[in-house]
Amino acid sequence: MNLMVFGAPGAGKGTQAKFLIEKYGIPQISTGDILRAAIADKTAMGMEAKKFMDEGKLVPDSTIIGIIKDRLAQDDCKNGFILDGFPRTLPQAEALRDLMNDMNISLDKVISLNVPDSLIVGRITGRRVCPDCGASFHVEFNPSKVEDICDYCGGKLMVRKDDNAETVKSRLGAYHEQTAPLIAFYKDMGVMVELDGTKDVGEVTKDMFKAIG
């Protein structure tokens, strides 16, 4: 099962991805995580990315795509994967499509979690994340069983540095300008499923599994 979780910052992508991992036993592929891993492992693509980052430059799409190619070729992706946070622009989406065509794999579903901006700010400022396993919680909508402790690994939950109202509004602006147009791109491919992300976490999960089939 090859999936992509799509939506604005704070729409609940990380939370729902965890349920997909539990159900299907497939890895979540976050560009931030695999970029850090590639640099730590000193892969060719990782070292190329590090060169740009050390110079204070954005890592080019071609390098990111190379790192994703390396990740998708690993054994744990043979039965599927969950893409989270990539692509963010139309050129990235087109490059990913071409890469997957070359690898003879395709996306089964793109799950779009639709949440209005007015709710996003409150969601993100209340978000708590686990630095150890990446799990995401919310103090109101999806609290951990023990306050500030991760349900999955027991790590100490934290507030991300950029999870503040001013930064969130800036990120939402970038999302609507650069990423929202991908909804039409994946609709044209026939894999887009749009869900009401304002529902309770459990209801969104039920809708998601029903849509995947």
Q: Which residues are catalytic?
A: 13, 88, 127, 160, 171
Q: In sequence order, what are the residues at sequence separation of 6 or more whose Cβ sits closer than 8 angstroms to the Cβ of residue 119?
A: 198
Phi, psi at residue 191, to the nearest 5°? -120, -5
Nearest one of 171, 189, 203 to 7, comparing CA atoms:
171
> Each residue of 113-148: b (16+ CB within 10 Å) or e?
bebeeeebbebbbbbbbbeeebbbbbeeebebeeee
Q: How many CA atoms lie within 13 A of 113 on its CB side?
A: 31
